[in-house]
Structures are given as structure tokens and as C-alpha cells.
Amino acid sequence: MHHRRHFITLLAAAAIAPLSAHAQTTFDHNHTAWDALLKKHVRWLSDGKQSRANYKGFAADRAALKAVLDSLSAVPKATFDSWSRPQQMAFLINAYNAFTVELILTRYPDLKSIKELGSFVQSPWKKKFFTLLGEQRHLDWIEHEQLRPRYNEPRVHAAVNCASIGCPALRDEAFTATRLEAQLEDGMRRFMGDRTRNRVKGDKVEASSIFKWFSEDFEQGHGGFKQVEDVFAKYAEQLSDQPAEQAALKAKTLGVNHLDYDWSLNDAGR
């Protein structure tokens, strides 16, 4: 009887062990470790519209960043494919932002712009320097081959951050599936309210070059937008404090000029 009871106990332990191992390797959709690094090393400026990254701090926490990157790289494509749309989008946005920080750290502090990490034959966004969903990838793969065409969400342009002053702000928190909608909308509102990137001047909207480079993303009916002017109309209160200008934005009677993009590093140590 004693041996039989012992055998049953061993069988039960063997059955539980794989489940425990699986539980330990289940991906953290709260992105807790990445969230902690962002809270520690990203700060909003006083206007609440722009942020700066403390790359010196990220460098000091390189081991923790590597753990985040390794956890992202470890996700198999089949697992990713089984996730919900918000889970997939949060994963890809966080991966883009985290691997961008890693790219900056490969030469920091000896660079003033992410563009210095490219060459005449290859942009920094085309460098295959990480693994994601089982293959070697570059940053453009995440943005232009996944996020933009697969999810048809133009507000993603205010979520991914290219480590530059001209970019919409890097958030001081990780994106999560449960908060994705609120985070995308908050990011877009902050971006549209940042007068260094988007503003009304006379009879023109002076807009970020993002609206020139990716105009098609705002012209396909996604998010209710059928033309870029629809974006300016929706965010009229963010673009201007003046009632007359807000009315003109909503009436879509203003022309559009695009501002030069500031590729300077969004470094808190500047």
C-alpha cells in the first residue's frame, strides 16, 4: 500500500510539473519589467506633451533591458498568433520601443541622432539586430510590415518612438492590451497638442512630417479618418486654444504646411 501510494504521488507530481513549467514561461502581458524601466528612465517635460529618455540610466540597467528583450524574442510566432489583437499590438509597440532603446545604447553616448547608426546603403531602421517571432528582424519590419498594414490603426504613429525630438513622445509606461485604446488616444492627444510639432499659424496648419510621410494611413477610413484634415478637425481643441481657429479646423478650411523633422536624440542628458 505504501509503495502504491508513493507511485500515485509521483504520477501526480509528473502531471503537475509541465503545467508549472508552462505557467512560469507564460508571457507577461502586463509587460511589467519593461514598464518598470520606462517609469525609471523616461520623464515628461513640463508641458506634458514631450518626454525625454535617460539613456545613461538605461545603460546602467542594461542587464534588465536585456532580460526584457530576451523575453520578447522568446515568444514563438504560433503563440503570438493565438493572442488577441490588443495583445499583439501592445507586444509589437513595446518591442519597437525597447529595441530602439537597445539600438541607441550600442553607441551611446557617442551619437547625437539615431540616423548616425545608419549608412549610405542601409538606414538604422533596416538593420537586422534582433530576433522576433522566430526570425532576425529590423525595426521597419515591426512598423511597416506588421503594425501599419495588419492593424489599420493610424494612432500607432503616436505610440512607436524613434528616439528623436521630432517623434511623438515615448511614454513612461508600457503598452498593455487592457489599456491600449486609452493609451493610443492619450498619445495622439498629447502629440496633437504639442505646439512644437503641430500648430495653427495664420490660415495654415503647420503639421508634423508624419502626416506627409504616412498620409495614406489617415486617408483610408481607419479611425473615422478619410483625409488628414479629418485628424485636425477631430483634435481641433488640442491644436489651438482659439475658438476661431478651432472652428476653421473643424470646417477644414485651413491649408497644411509640414514642419521639418528634428532627428536630434531625445536624450534627457541634452
Q: What is the mean pLDDT of residues 61-87?
A: 98
Long-range contacts of 117-122 (CB under 8 A, 24+ apart): none
* Cα 110 from Cα 105, distance rounded (Å): 9
Output the pLDDT for position 151.
Answer: 95
What digits encode the pLDDT tens for the residues 155-185? 999 999 999 999 999 999 999 999 999 999 9
What digits encode the pLDDT tens for the residues 25-53? 599 999 999 999 999 999 999 999 999 99
Q: What is the mean pLDDT of residues 190-198?
A: 97
